[in-house]
Structures are given as C-alpha cells and as structure tokens.
Homo-oligomer: A and B are copies of this chain.
Amino acid sequence: MQNIGELIRTLREKEGYPLRKVAAFLDIDQAILSKIERGQRKLTKEQVIKLADFFNYNEKEMLITFFSDQIIYEIGNEEYAKEALKVAEEKIEYLKKTNKDE
C-alpha cells in the first residue's frame, strides 16, 4: 500500500536517478522533491502526470494513488472516515447522473 511519495521514490531509485535529475525535470528545487517523496510537501496533478510519463508508469494508476492520498490526508484520522467515503461515493454517483440530464 504505497503513497504517492513512496511510489515516486521507488520509481526514481529503480532508475538510479538522483533527486537532482527528477527535480530538474519537474523544474523544482531538489529539496522540495525530497520533501515530496517523504510526504512533507504536496504535488500538483500536473506534476503527477508529468512523472507518470517520465517514468513510463501508468498514468491512471498514479493519479489514483495521488487522489486517494489526498483523501486520506483530509479524513484519514476521522472516526467516521469509512462512512464518509461511502456517502461520498453516493454523491459522486448522483452527480454523474444529474450531470448527464442537463
């Protein structure tokens, strides 16, 4: 069960790249990438997409890892997290439906 930071680190190390190289690709300071990999800074969706491309990693999967992390970050410690997820699912389902009808 990997979070996005760990995933990026795994991919980077698999290639044997230093932070410097990936950070340059993303056009950010390597200190920030270091923090991203350890979950101390956030990524943008655009950065995730760029990284998936860079590492030839499935973009959809990486985005799902990214978004699920965001959710965990927000409600992971809440007592009713599971219930909230369930309701969120229903709301999304509902939104989809009503958006279709307009």
- Chain B residues near A71: list those with CB within 8 A: 71, 74-75, 84-85, 88
- Chain B residues near A72: list those with CB within 8 A: 88, 91-92, 95
For A60-76 the 0/1 string (1 means CB < 8 A from B) is: 10011101111110111
Knowing that A74-B74, A85-B89 touch, tell me 15 more A-B residue pairs with CB under 8 angstroms. Answer: A63-B78, A63-B80, A64-B84, A67-B75, A67-B84, A68-B84, A68-B85, A68-B87, A68-B88, A68-B91, A70-B75, A81-B92, A82-B89, A85-B85, A85-B92
Residues of A within 8 A of B (CB): 1, 60, 63-65, 67-72, 74-76, 78-85, 87-92, 94-95
